[in-house]
Every structure is written in structure tokens, then in C-alpha cells.
Amino acid sequence: MVFVHLYLGNVLALLLFVHYSNGDESTDPGSQRRTQSPRPVSTLGPLTRLEGIKVGYERKVQLVTDRDHFIRTLSLKPLLFEIPGFLSDEECRLIIHLAQMKGLQRSQILPTEEYEEAMSTMQVSQLDLFRLLDQNHDGRLQLREVLAQTRLGNGRWMTPENIQEMYSAIKADPDGDGVLSLQEFSNMDLRDFHKYMRSHKAESSELVRNSHHTWLYQGEGAHHVMRAIRQRVLRLTRLSPEIVELSEPLQVVRYGEGGHYHAHVDSGPVYPETICSHTKLVANESVPFETSCRQVPPTPVPLTPGNLGSFCPQVNLWECLQLGTRSEAPLPYSYMTVLFYLNNVTGGGETVFPVADNRTYDEMSLIQDDVDLRDTRRHCDKGNLRVKPRQGTAVFWYNYLPDGQGWVGDVDDYSLHGGCLVTRGTKWIANNWINVDPSRARQALFQQEMARLAREGGADSQPEWALDRAYSDARVEL
């Protein structure tokens, strides 16, 4: 039986909670802060970026002392590379072992009641909502226009069938053509919709992300293999040690049989501490640095269709809104993703880049009424590029374009990627996200503050890594 997972409701709910710190910050990063900063800020050198040359180009690199590695260009859009044998089989097994000792948690939980609660106090009219959703301005809501709103959603993944079932259940589409006219949309009673949503529980296969994961510490005092991998990534990326060391810890992910991760872009950091380190510095630079800021809630600001337009000009309402709720201050960017395959997968589990090296990028052309290329359970075979998991192989890519001044610029839409359905066996991977602040000056300030903290012994006192420290001498027993 198919459950229905329409996320319109969640989108609406978020409208109430979103706070916009500064809509233009990302296009002109740091200009404000730079002048306000009371402390001298050192300037950072240009962000390194490997040359792609062309698809299939191979270069030899020395990442470890005892062997050479070859970096192969897989695509230019996104700038994507593959390095076979980046990790040894022993290292792969050790990472899995450490993750298992630490324990993995579900990567995504189902939407909570707070969303539904918020729905009842909406400030956006049904007409305004229709206009926001009607991307092609033809006065009708195509299935794909509704599908477009699930991307990166925290909740359930929508398929065209889900939407049509819901329409049918709440009688939203009397003529059954899958398209809602403004009249049909206006006639829809959102309470029916909420009721329908509550009555259908999603299974894990119906989520955006169906996996378990944990985080492994890679900082000072970590397991020597974790340190060695961080150093290897440093040599691979040719970035400064500060940037790599201050990025997120290693995320280890297990996809069971039936696991998947629908296509998304790694635009922001996923580990809250990393966000908050940056955020704190920006929000109030005189406040002493704190490693965690989960306790600081975002300030709710009413959102109107008027200010929404300027903040969320793109089709991706959901992603934009979700980003808005994360923090009051601009987030650091996931400049690069380094993904490690920790085992050979018996069936499926490829990493797909649906639009890699496409001539043009058009978000809406990804999503057709029948085929949604972001759907990694159904349509991986139609994506432009698939990487097959092979134990020890690493792939890495740049989620952001350069800004032309040696720093990070706009997100690279072509970096859209996902984890295909694991049809047989288990898939283990790990991710290193290299975070960079969109403001060069703020990144410099962040590094400066973190260095000060380290000198003052603050780094050692981080309580969340106690478990990792206990395992720092762990070995794999085979």
C-alpha cells in the first residue's frame, strides 16, 4: 500500500518560522562584517581548486609515502574526481568498526507535530500560495510544480502517484487530470488535507533519506587512522590545514537493503556544531566562542509573499525556507564533499549525479509529471553519471563555483547527487564535508578564534567527543 506524503503542509508551516537575517549576504559576502570587525583580520589566500582539464583526465599524486594515487576527472559540472584506493581495506573496516561501536542513528526522522500545529496559524492566503507554487505562471498547478517543493525536505518524499492519491482522497481534483486549476485549488479545504496527512504514516523507504549514520571525531587526539585520513584529505584538496581541520567530523553512513538518499545538493553544513561555531562568531563577535549553540532558537519572523519573493526567487521554496530556519546568521558553505566507499555493495547503491555535464541546468526540467530524475529509488538509470561503490575509492567534488576572486561563489546546481537504492546487501560510506564561510573575512576571523581557543585548551574540553577519545586505540579484530 502506498502512503501519501504531500508536503505542501510543511512548506506552509515553515512560512511562520522563517527568519531572514540578510537576504543579500550570500551575494556580497562579508562586506558588512569586514568594516564592523573590531579585530584585525588576516586575509586568506585563494581557495585551491583542482583543474578538471577534461573528462577522463588522470593525474598522479603522492598522498601517502608508500604508493601513488591517480585522480581521475569524472565530470566538469560539477567538478568531480575519483581516486581508487584512497583508503586501504583495513582503514575501511576500521571506520565501520568505530562507527558500530559508537552506534548509528536514523539519518532522518519523520516530521513532528510542530509543523502541523503551525499550519493552523498561517498568514499566507491560499491564493498567494497558489501563485508561489505555480512556477510557470500558467494559472494551473502541474504535478511537477508540487513535486518541486519536496526537494531536501526533512520529511517524506513525494511521488506523482502519492499526490494523485491524495487529490483523489480529498477530492481536490474532480476531473482527475492531475492538474489543479486555481478554482480547484481554492475549493480545496486545507483541513481535509491535514487530516489526510495525519492518517498516513510514512515508512522509511518513503523518506528523502533512508539510512543510519554517526559522526567520528578527526581532531587532535582522535584515532590515528582518523587523523591520517584527515591529513590525506588535506593533501588531496590542497586547501589550508585550518580549513580542513575546522570542517565537520567524518560522517559514517550505513544504507541497509532498500536504503537510498534522493538527489540533493550539499549546500550547507549538516552537523549543528559546525554551523554554530560560525554563527556565534557572526551573530555577536564579542561573545566568547562556544562550541555548541543548539540552545539558541531561531527568531520567528512572519513571512509574507512579498518578502518571500526576494529571499526565495528560485523554484526551491522548501530548501530555501529550511535554510532560513537554521540560523540567524549566514551559514558556512559545504565547499567540497569527499565521499569514501567503505565496502563493495552487492547490488545498487551507486552515487548518481543526474545532471552532471548537462549543457544547461533547469531545475524544473529535472522534474517531469511522470519522471522525477531526483528520485534515486526509481530513476537512477536515467541520470547522466553513476559511480559504482568500490571499497577504498574516494570521490570528491566542489559544491560551489569559484567567485572569480579566489573565494567561494554560487552553489553549483550541477552538483545535485543522490544515493541509489541498495538492491542487495549493505552499503557503507563516509563523508567529509569541507566547510568554508562565504565571507573570506569571516572565515579568517573564525580561524583566528578557533586558534585562540586551541591555545587556551578549549579544544580538548569538547564533551561531545569523549566517546571517540575512548576508542582512540581501537583495532579491528578480523
Q: Interface with its own copies includes 51 (CB under 8 A)?
A: yes
Going by the DSSP 8-state scheme, the letter that residue 372 receives in this structure is: B
Where helices occur in 312-382 by DSSP H, the ranges are: 317-326, 363-366
Pairing status of strand 427-436 against strand 347-348: unpaired
Reduce the DSSP state of residue 146 to 3 states and report it.
Answer: helix
Cell, residue 127: 491564493
Shortest approach of its own copies to residue 359 CB, angstroms? 5
Q: N- to C-terminal Cα distance for the chain?
A: 42
State which of residues 57, 271, 311, 471 lies at the interface with its own copies (CB under 8 A). Answer: 57
Q: Interface with its own copies includes 56 (CB under 8 A)?
A: no
Q: Interface with its own copies includes 360 (CB under 8 A)?
A: yes
Residue whose grid cell is 582539464: 53
Cβ contact 266:433 at 8 Å:
yes
Pattern 113-152, binding to its own copies, x per CB under 8 A?
Answer: ----------------------------------------
Q: Interface with its own copies includes 464 (CB under 8 A)?
A: no
> Where does this chain touch its own copies (CB under 8 A) — which range of 133-141, 194-202, 207-215, 401-409?
401-409
State which of residues 28, 42, 48, 53 lies at the interface with its own copies (CB under 8 A). Answer: 53
> Where does this chain touch its own copies (CB under 8 A) — which range of 49-57, 158-166, 279-287, 365-373?
49-57
Question: Among residues 39 and 59, whose Cβ is nearest to its own copies?
Answer: 59
State which of residues 38, 404, 457, 463 lies at the interface with its own copies (CB under 8 A). Answer: 404
State which of residues 357, 363, 386, 476 lies at the interface with its own copies (CB under 8 A). Answer: 357
Shortest approach of its own copies to residue 330 CB, angstroms? 20
Of residues 72 through 91, those in contact with its own copies by CB under 8 A are 76-77
State which of residues 18, 41, 401, 421 lies at the interface with its own copies (CB under 8 A). Answer: 401
CA distance 364 to 60: 39
CA distance 62 to 43: 29
Site size toward its own copies, by CB under 8 A: 20
> Where does this chain touch its own copies (CB under 8 A) — which range of 239-247, 265-273, 305-313, 400-408?
400-408
CA distance 111 to 365: 28
Question: Among residues 266 and 328, whose Cβ is nearest to its own copies?
Answer: 266
| Length of the chain in terms of residues written | 478
Question: Count of CB atoms within 10 A of residue 138's CB?
Answer: 10
Q: Interface with its own copies includes 382 (CB under 8 A)?
A: no
Backbone dihedral angles phi then psi of residue 450, each to the nearest 5 degrees: -65, -35
Cβ contact 260:349 at 8 Å:
no
Question: Among residues 54 and 137, whose Cβ is nearest to its own copies?
Answer: 54
State which of residues 21, 126, 358, 423 lies at the interface with its own copies (CB under 8 A). Answer: 358
CA distance 25 to 322: 17
Cβ contact 122:10 at 8 Å:
no
Q: Interface with its own copies includes 427 (CB under 8 A)?
A: no
Give the angle subtended at the CA of 112 by the CAs of 107 and 116, to the nearest 5°: 145
Closest CA to 108 of 218, 10, 253, 8: 253
Shortest approach of its own copies to residue 327 CB, angstroms? 27
List residues binding its own copies (CB under 8 A).
51, 53-55, 57, 59, 76-77, 357-360, 384, 401-404, 409-410, 412
